[in-house]
Chain A
Amino acid sequence: MQTDWSDERLMLAYRAGDADAFTILYRRHRGPLYRYLVRQCGSAAEADELHQDVWLKVIHARSQYEPLARFPTWLFRIARHRLIDHYRQHARHLLAQHESAAGEDAEGGEEWIERLPAASEEMPHVLLERHDTARRISVAVAELPPLQREVFLLAEEGRLTLDEIATVTGCGRETTKSRLRYALGKLRKSLQDLL
């Protein structure tokens, strides 16, 4: 059964012309990728567009795909590049903040909270679920500094290892580990009463 196949095998099957393999692959990763995008850009409409673009890039790059890394690593790397392009086109100030923050101490990003991409209340999943816990979680995630939020989402949604996150983000493994530690600490602090 193709449903038991690994991501890499499915992608190779799709590269060979098996469209059903792509369908299985897409259904496995559509949710995590979409949530990663929607929490990163802060807009459901933009997340829809980004999500579609990322998968189209996967489709067009299928002939060059080689299973040198896990499929999620490849997929989220494409997604991250697409997000950076999106920032360049629509929110250069966010990109500038994103880049400048890369050299700062991960703890020194409190001012980012006021300049996050979008208010958590506007996210569609918050509006749909109308659940207080979900809203609080979303708020807590959205209030994370961008780099910490990125690492956290790659770890939670992409299920990437520290090394894979470091590969996707282009940072060192220890830097990634530090950012993830700070992100989890902040979330624990924000959601303490829910734990």
Chain B
Amino acid sequence: MSEPQEDFQGDPQVSALYREHAHAEPPATVDGYVLAAARAAVRAPASVAQRHWWQRWRTGLALATTLALTLTLALLHERQPGDLQREAAVTPQPVAPGVAPASVARDTAVPAAPPTAVAGDAVAAAGKAAVGVPPKLPAREDRLAAQRVTPAAGEGVRPAAAGDAPRQDGSPATAPEAAPGSASPRAREGSTVAGTAATAAAAAAASAEQEAAAGPASAARQQPRAVAPSRAGIARSADAWLDEIRALRRAGHGAEAAKQLADFRLAHPDYPLPEEFRQ
């Protein structure tokens, strides 16, 4: 203990007198309380393990919650198997020269189409939505599909066909609508979907009795059409649209082709039209 005043001597006599008579001390109860508190405070770390469960597990709970939230978001953004199946069903059968697609064949042969044929109709509905054609599609689609099958002797419906399209039934077929240099199979697929849809839309000018003849099958095919329009409309490209117009012209539907061309120019005013459409 150092002296209170190194350079100040103070008054040793006063200090000695004061210390001689300074005996006041705290009561024993205060001493006991303070010492007990000191010991309890030292024991406190041992009781850390006895903290509330929330304090002990909050870190783990926070991590688990974060992980669960992340997984949930990831799963929500991941494509569901149901979506893949729906997408596969929406994808039309590519039309190969000389070979009638299964769905078309079924549509032309049997009024009540099986579920696989419904997919093609759904795409047709998509095309209808894209071009704003009234919903009179099934019968005209059938007719147009038959027309697309007709030039099987060598005249492809789509001169720009390139490469093989995804084959779902194992039948040899090419993707007539696939534009050269398509970025991906998915893009080709979208183009194919749009092409079929537009073809179906072009057939909307056909008579109503065929639609009536389709009967309940047509009604059954109407239902899934509500699903497809957005996908087909989005996937439809200018090239595919022009291909459809070209197909309409070749099929002899000049009025419909002109209407489609007018719609096309409204939708794509800056798109350079091929020579054949400038007249």
- Measuring CB to CB, which residues of chain A are less than 8 angstroms from any residue of chain B? 14, 17-19, 22-23, 26, 30-31, 34-35, 38, 47-48, 51-52, 55-56, 59-60, 62, 70, 123-125, 128-129, 131, 133-134, 137, 141, 155-157, 159-162, 165, 177, 180-181, 184-185, 187-188, 191, 194-195
Contact = CB atoms under 8 A, between A and B. Distances in A.
A187 B13 CA distance: 10
Interface string B40-53: 01100100000000
A96 B94 CA distance: 97
5 contacts: A22-B38, A22-B39, A125-B24, A137-B21, A185-B11
The 7 A-B pairs with the shortest beta carbon distances in the complex, nearest first, are: A125-B24, A134-B21, A184-B11, A155-B4, A55-B34, A22-B38, A34-B26
Residue in B25, B37, B39, B45 with the greatest tally of chain A CB atoms within 10 Å: B25
A161 B42 contact: no
B184 interface: no
A30 B26 CA distance: 7
B24 A38 contact: yes
B8 A31 contact: no
B6 interface: yes
A155 B5 contact: yes
Given A31-B25, A59-B41, A48 B10 contact: no
A34 B6 contact: no
A161 B4 contact: yes
B8 A180 contact: yes
Interface of B: 1-8, 10-11, 13-15, 17-19, 21-27, 30-31, 33-35, 37-39, 41-42, 45
Given A51-B30, A159-B1, A188-B13, A26 B35 contact: yes
A156 B18 contact: yes
A156 B15 CA distance: 7
B31 A129 contact: no
B125 to A, nearest CB: 73
Contacts of B27: 48
A22 B39 CA distance: 9
Nearest to B31: A30
A149 B224 CA distance: 97
Contacts of B3: 159, 161
A188 B12 CA distance: 10
Contact of B45 (A17, A48, A155): A17
Contacts of A123: 24
Contacts of A56: 34, 37
A128 to B, nearest CB: 8
Contacts of A18: 42
A162 B11 contact: no
B234 to A, nearest CB: 64
Given A56-B37, A141-B18, A160 B4 contact: yes
Contact of A187 (B2, B8, B18, B26): B18
B33 to A, nearest CB: 6
A125 B41 contact: no
Given A23-B35, A31-B24, A48-B27, A62 B41 contact: yes
Contact of B14 (A60, A162, A187): A187
Given A129-B21, A133-B21, A23 B10 contact: no
Contact of A52 (B11, B34, B41): B34
A188 B11 contact: yes
Nearest to A35: B24
Contacts of A185: 11
A23 B25 CA distance: 16
